[in-house]
Amino acid sequence: MDTYIVEGGEKLYGKVKVQSAKNTVLPLLAGAVLTDEQVKIRGVPTINDAENMLRILNEVGCKIKRQDGNVIIDSSGAVSHEIPQRLTKELRSSVFMLGSVLTRFCRAKISYPGGCDIGLRPIDLHLSGLKRLGVEIVEEGGYIECRADKLVGAEILLDFPSVGATENIILAAVKAEGITVIRNAAKEPEIVDLQNFLNAMGAKVRGAGGGTVVIEGVKRLHGVDYTPIGDRIEGGTFLIACAVCGGEIELCGVPAENISALLHKLRENGCKIHTKNDKIVLRSDGKLKSVDLVETMPFPGFPTDLQAQYAALCCKVKGTTIIVENLFETRYKYAGELKRMGADITVRGRTAVIRGVERLHGARVTASDLRGGASLVVAALAAEGRSEILNLSHIDRGYADFERKLKKLGAKIRRVRI
């Protein structure tokens, strides 16, 4: 089992180039099944979630080649409409394969997807959207089986602006007969990137990022050479770490508008932030003040995927912060681990009250999910003394070369096997 050993108390200085966005790369990989021609996706990070998605593609018959950090997918030999259970249980985003495999084979079979245990995260919105496109769905024995003689465009109103449901419906609709309109669609930058990727393949998708997405079905898609956007969640994690540790970093690859809610809060905390194009420079003396309230919301609100990391920052500010998690039911599993480091946190349902303390101390803690694990790293960097962070497989799901990037900024962190 791999463990991080962190000697806290160091300020962070330097430049960080963020990886390609995990939450974009996964639906793009699924979208490669939509064409018989070669798809090249540049800068695919070596994270566990991407590797699992590539294994799924290989299982359905795609040929995968890695070349200089890029991934080349040839799906001309794809023959299977079934997604293996042993892989779906490890990856929530395997559900994206429903839309693309349905488009390819007019049928798909998948077991209920896994991933981080941060709440129920039902896929009802995915399935109801697919039904509107003419898909017959049978749920039995832990499997979802979908069939459609043909996919037909439809008007779809999402009860909630779900990122996954929006992306899955787009993937299913790009070659459907007629026009599909998704209302109350998610507005995240990753939706815009999926639109741009598919349009580069010959699709006709418009409106992404604005709440209403219109897809005009086309008969075929061609290959593409595509570079995804930068990972705003990875970038936000580094900004939060620098804010609480003190120092100055330049983040490259994330436009400010993609994480404006976080930047607003960090400015309130007392950080100095300058932005230009896709560069963000943050300066902090590490002596932060609290903000009253943080509520997670769909984009452009505060990202749920940065809630845990920001909570780690709140543990070491002057004053009290209330965090309300509006998207997932059980996203405070990290709270007990932060308490081991001296944090003062009270959790009631979806609300956490964090009273800042003067200092955190090193401790042995365990990651229970991806973003909660990242929050433990942030806290360990800001703590006094030595911390051990166990169960890195969760962190490896979304952060590539995490410790190497932190070391370049001056952090004392190393990975050991125990």
pLDDT for position 15: 98
Over the chain, what is the mean pLDDT?
92
Least confident of 20-34, 79-93, 154-168, 211-225: 79-93
Token digits for 197? Answer: 């990727």
DSSP reduced 3-state for 1: coil
Closest by CA to 311, choosing from 274, 354, 279, is: 354
Q: How far is it, in rounded angstroms, from Cα 331 to Cα 350?
A: 8
Provide the domain count of the chain: 2
Say whether pLDDT at 286 is over 70.
Answer: yes
Domain end (from 226, 245, 261): 226
Q: Are 351 and 324 in contact (CB under 8 A)?
A: yes
3-state secondary structure of 73: strand
Q: Which of 159-168, 176-185, 200-209 has the lowest mean pLDDT?
A: 159-168
Higher pLDDT, 19 or 77: 19
Question: 89 pLDDT band (50/70/90 cuts)?
Answer: low
What's the whole-number mean pLDDT along residues 404-411? 97
- Catalytic residue from among 116, 242, 314, 315: 116
- For residues 224 and 193, what is the distance between their CA atoms, to the nearest angstrom? 14
Residues 163 and 281 in one domain: no
Q: pLDDT band at 122, cuts 50/70/90? A: low
State mean pLDDT over 178-201. 98
161 and 262, same domain (yes or no): no
For residues 3 and 366, what is the distance between their CA atoms, to the nearest angstrom?
9
For 33-47, give one letter per residue: b (16+ CB within 10 A) or e. bbbebbbbbebbbeb
Provide mean pLDDT across the span 9-20. Answer: 97
Question: What average pLDDT score do residues 257-273 get?
Answer: 98
Same structural domain, 49 and 181: yes
Question: Can you give the residue range of the structural domain that contains 132?
Answer: 22-226
Quote the CA–CA distance of 387 and 34 in Å, as a whole number: 46
- Same domain, yes or no: 191 and 174: yes
**Token code pair at residue 232:** 């705003």
Here the CATH number for the domain that contains residue 259 is: 3.65.10.10
The predicted-structure confidence for 338-352, as pLDDT tens digits, reads as follows 999 999 999 999 999
Task: Provide φ and ψ at 370, rounded to 5°.
Answer: -60, -60
Q: Are residues 305 and 352 in the same domain?
A: yes
Does residue 120 carry a pLDDT above 70? no
Cα–Cα distance measured from residue 367 to residue 383, given in angstroms and rounded to the nearest whole number: 17
Which of 172, 200, 226 is a domain's end point?
226
Higher pLDDT, 119 or 208: 208
* C-alpha span between 233 and 23 (Å, rounded): 9
Which residue's structure tokens are 């390609």? 20
Does the pLDDT at position 274 exceed 50?
yes
> Is pLDDT at 116 greater than 60 in this prediction?
no
Instruction: Assess whether pLDDT exceeds 80 at residue 84.
Output: no
Q: What pLDDT score was predicted for residue 215?
A: 98
Which of 200, 226, 252 is where one domain is finished? 226
- The proportion of the chain whose per-residue pLDDT surpasses 70, expressed as a percent, equals 95
Taking Cα atoms as reference points, which of 351, 298, 286 lies closest to residue 324?
A: 351
Residue 275's contacts (CB-CB under 8 Å, 6 or more residues apart) are 255, 256, 263, 281
Contacts of 182 (CB under 8 A, 6+ apart): 129, 156, 158, 166, 169, 170, 212, 213, 214, 215
Phi-psi region of 170 (alpha: psi -120 to 50; beta: other; left: phi over 0): alpha
Residues 252 and 191 in one domain: no
Do 164 and 204 fall into the same domain? yes
Same domain, 206 and 234: no
pLDDT-wise least confident of 79-93, 111-125, 343-357:
111-125
Helices (H), 201-282: 232-245, 260-269
d(CA 41, CA 25): 8
What is the model's pLDDT at position 409?
98
Give yes or no: residues 60 and 191 share one domain.
yes
pLDDT surpasses 70 at 416:
yes
Long-range contacts (CB closer than 8 Å, 24 or more residues apart) made by 67-74:
69/42, 69/43, 69/44, 70/40, 70/41, 70/42, 70/43, 70/44, 71/29, 71/40, 71/41, 71/44, 72/38, 72/39, 72/40, 73/29, 73/32, 73/38, 73/39, 73/40, 73/41, 74/38
Residues 6 and 50 in one domain: no
Are 168 and 212 contained in the same domain? yes
Active site residue 116: yes
pLDDT at 1 over 90: no
CA distance 182 to 125: 12
Tell me, yes or no, whether 202 and 257 share the same domain.
no
Task: Report the pLDDT value the prediction gives residue 40, as an integer from 0 to 100.
Answer: 98
Q: Would you say residue 323 has pLDDT above 70?
A: yes
pLDDT of 9 above 90? yes
| Cα 95 from Cα 324, distance rounded (Å) | 27
